[in-house]
Amino acid sequence: MASDLEIARAATLKPIGEIATRAGIPDAVLVPFGRTKAKIEHAFVVEAIATRPAGRLVLVTGISPTAAGEGKTTTTIGLGDALNALGTRTMICLREPSLGPCFGVKGGATGGGHAQVAPMEDINLHFTGDFHAITSANNLLSAMVDNHLYWGNELALDPRRVTWRRAMDMNDRNLRNLVLGLGGPAQGVPREDGFDITVASEVMAVFCLAADLADLQARLGRMIVGATRDGRSATARDVKADGAMAALLRDALQPNLVQTLEGSPALVHGGPFANIAHGCNSVIATRLGLALADVVVTEAGFGADLGAEKFLDIKCRSAGLAPSASVIVATVRALKMHGGVAKAELGREDVAAVERGTVNLARHVENMHKFGLPVVVALNRFTTDTDAEIAAVQAAMARLDTEAVLCTHWADGADGALDLARAVQRRLDQGAARFVPLYPDAMPLAEKLRTVAREIYRAADVSIPAPVAARLTRFEEQGFGHVPVCVAKTQYSFSADPTRLGAPEGHVLPVREVRLSAGAGFVVAVCGEIMTMPGLPRRPAAEAIGLDAEGRIEGLF
């Protein structure tokens, strides 16, 4: 069986100008990066968003992820290809891959099989340099904060209360906590610091939520870097870093245009994780897609309890978006794991395990209904799936008045997702969506956390230690009580314990710390043992990546 990389290499890609023409983008506004990828100039993006009617938005999300894999990005691409094949003008909007997972355990994020965006190697490794620009902007601010401390500290920043952290787009646990400035006065002011992975940085969130260049610089300026000795917040604007940061990000903020293996246009732009950030592609790319197409198919990271909840409560609230339908991706294999089957045993028929595992899928469906969204389940088929196992999933979904559609787009491309596309089109034509966020802006921050925990995770309550509660109160006193909350927790469970699969309930969500992302416009609640700088696994994927005799990259997946 050919690998994803082999399938991608065998495809004949069209010149990016042809893809742009198909999407209604003039060649004159393209900034090409080689033959098969390009950025789109700001002026066209602004004009298109302002003057054209918006299409309808379809959100693809998934069940709680397992080691068996589910195929959310693959389904997003397959669905977009299939809708285009049926004659619905469709744009696909995806997140950019992070180098951390590429060299770690998860692999790339360009889909798989015959449902991929391309050029696969370029997109997974550097692409158009957006993440490098975001990393550089983040670390320029760090350098300017430390430089301010060194040259007299006019703002009276308290070195013990600097909260801004450095970033890099790589998994490196040794950089989580550091002491800087050792070696004498000439080396800087000693203080504690640390690194987050770039996709978890506030600069990434600002980049993804900014409406345009002016909004980008305004949001950058509002980012809080620490506190002064008398307790006042200090911002990036206070240390005069916002302009230079915006300059570094100017070109990166232009959306990236690529194509699927079947020639559908795709905007791949921005890329935070949904377990430790808000997990969505850029607002600019989504809005541009809606201006150019009748339907936009986009995805949110990890399970619906994380990516979809944040997409709906953070991104849609911030950008004024209202999705028309949602797709939840599942596999029989993954549901068996939620039903207690070990990965090595997934090839055996076990209808009872599938039935036990469908409680995870059912909860995600119920949660999407709470937001007023109609749901279609995409059931990615594996050769080991039996008719009885598939019937068990479809029966469980029928009890929720939800259609579970078999898909084979990994093997068959658009042809394997035509039934899914028809089901989604029916939902769109019915116009049943009545989108509403989970909680109102005016709700106190602690109650917003409690609402997410109870309504989405089915927790009994949240545990907020006194110092953390005091910080939430302080955020409200500073005028940030109206912002949404962004929960950082394990992606593998509705609880904060990654070993509790299925659909646990009655647990307590432990809030370890809270961080104010004033520029992005939300409060991050770090729960359980989750880390904002991941580590590499015992055998990282990087060990298998290299160059062949012809200088071609091998080992990417």
Return the active site residues. 72, 74, 95, 106, 274, 302, 382, 410
Residues, the chain, total? 557
Task: Name the nearest CA neighbour of 81 among 407, 429, 332, 382.
Answer: 407
| Distances, alpha carbon 88 to alpha carbons 248, 415, 541, in Å | 37, 15, 38
Cα 328–93–367 angle (5° rounding)? 25
Q: What is the DSSP letter of 72?
A: H
Measured distance CA(92)–CA(258) in Å, rounded: 10
HSE on the CB side for 131, CA within 13 Å?
A: 25
Measured distance CA(538)–CA(557) in Å, rounded: 18
Beta strands in 304-364 (DSSP E): 325-331
Tell the burial category of 496 from Cβ atoms under 10 Å away from its Cβ (0-12, 13-18, 19+): buried
Instruction: Identify whether the C-beta of residue 117 lies closer than 8 Å to the C-beta of residue 110.
Output: yes
Beta strands in 13-127 (DSSP E): 30-32, 38-40, 56-62, 90-94, 111-112, 115-118
HSE on the CB side for 326, CA within 13 Å?
A: 31
Measured distance CA(206)–CA(212) in Å, rounded: 11
Measured distance CA(459)–CA(221) in Å, rounded: 37
HSE on the CB side for 261, CA within 13 Å?
A: 27
For the record, the structure tokens of 209 come out as 């939520």
Measured distance CA(79)–CA(63) in Å, rounded: 17
Residue 311, phi then psi, degrees to nearest 5: -55, -45
For the record, the structure tokens of 470 come out as 């005091």
Q: In sequence order, which residues have a C-beta less than 8 Å from that of residue 519 and are 6 or more positions away?
A: 202, 205, 206, 219, 220, 221, 222, 223, 224, 236
Task: Name the nearest CA neighbour of 313 among 483, 472, 491.
Answer: 483
Tokens 């699969």, residue located:
501
What dihedral do alpha carbons 436, 513, 167, 307 form, nearest 10°? -30
For the record, the structure tokens of 392 come out as 């068990």
Count of CB atoms situated within 10 Å of the CB of 265: 27
Q: How far apart are the first and last CA of the chain?
A: 14
Compute the chain's Rg from CA coordinates: 23
Strand pairing partners for 380? 331, 407
**DSSP code string of 275-293:** TTS--B--HHHHHHHHHH-
Measured distance CA(431)–CA(325) in Å, rounded: 9
